[in-house]
Structure 1
């Protein structure tokens, strides 16, 4: 599972050829959340409140890049790195 971004101890990853809806995985310590790209709804799991706030802020800023990476992963191609939250 490629890591496409990393910031404040949070890894953002996508699986190759993963199931719909388009989503990404956010990992922070022992926590993991799966977040829909289009709606930013948490599909599964959870993160501590502050980490989740950072993830959602980052995802809002990079939604189009996330969708591009989703399509690359669906085609079994390597996704591009996305700038971290600053």
Structure 2
């Protein structure tokens, strides 16, 4: 699972050939979550509320970058790194 960003202890990654809808995975300590790119809804897993809020803030700012990486992952191309939350 290629890592595409890392900030404040949160690791964001995306699988190649993953199932729809377009989404990304994140880890924070022992917590794991899948987030839909278009709606920013939690598809699976859970995060502590503060970490989830930071992750959603980051994803909202980088939605176009996330969709670009999703399309790259669909064709097994190298994914682009996305800037961390600042």
- TM score, norm. by length of structure 1: 0.99
Q: What does residue 41 of structure 2 align with?
A: 41
RMSD: 0.4
Report the alpha carbon displacement of residue 78 of structure 1 after superposing the two structures with TM.
Answer: 1.3
Q: What does residue 18 of structure 1 align with?
A: 18
Q: What does residue 31 of structure 2 align with?
A: 31
For structure 1, the residue ranges without an aligned partner over 5 or more in a row are none
For structure 2, the residue ranges without an aligned partner over 5 or more in a row are none
- TM score, norm. by length of structure 2: 0.99
Instruction: Give the secondary-structure state (helix, strand or coil) at the position aligned to 1:26.
Output: strand
Deviations 1:31-82 (Å, cap 9, x if unpaired)?
Answer: 0000000000000000001100000000000000000000000101111000
- Equivalent pairs, count: 86
Write the distance in 2 (CA, Å) between the matches of 1:32 and 1:78.
23
Q: What does residue 62 of structure 1 align with?
A: 62
